[in-house]
Structure 1
Amino acid sequence: MTFHDEDLVARIKQALKVVIDPELGHNIVDLGFIYDVQVDDGAVHITMTATTRGCPAASFLKVGVASSACLVPGVDSVDVTMTFDPPWQPSMISPGVRSSLGFAEVN
């Protein structure tokens, strides 16, 4: 990955913060739903998850990710893969959001 691609990945992740999980009320980046963002000459591949395999918002979130990433300058195409491996866990949530959702810290 070139420096330019690393910058583009950062801008994509920032853009994805507008996608809000309707159930938890926070953005999918801070919730830990974005597993990977790869860029190859303007082609973006995003691997993401949802809280559960049967999550009714999964397709909504996937479309939101693709739409938001497409708006980032330098992105030519976006492919989004939904995976449940590894399964999402509350420990994947950023600390500040985890606290606001009432999840206790486990030592």
Structure 2
Amino acid sequence: MIYVPKQGVATNAQTAVAPADPQTSLSANVSGANGSKVNLNTATKEQLMQVDGIGDKKATKIIEYRQQHGSFKQLSELKDISGIGDKTYQKLSKSLTI
């Protein structure tokens, strides 16, 4: 769906428009061949699990951390999650963004 505002109407450039097919939205935030990165603050559990190194448990812990502490301010906050140390953080940080 594309929204075209009338001439003179102010728009918000950050407004996201949902795709007609919800399945296509999954690839929008997932790191893939196109080099895009997964956003820690908006990704679903399924999207997080598509990042190499994040399985079911880590995805759940990331979402729980987000619910308890609010949005991530820095990627390094990942190291505050049990099971994510320096090595894991280095690997994950290449595929994640805030």
Q: TM-score, normalised by structure 2?
A: 0.31
Identify, as 1 or 2, the structure richer in helix. 2
Q: Which of 1 and 2 has greater Rg?
A: 2
Name the one with the larger strand percent.
1
TM-score, with length taken from structure 1: 0.29
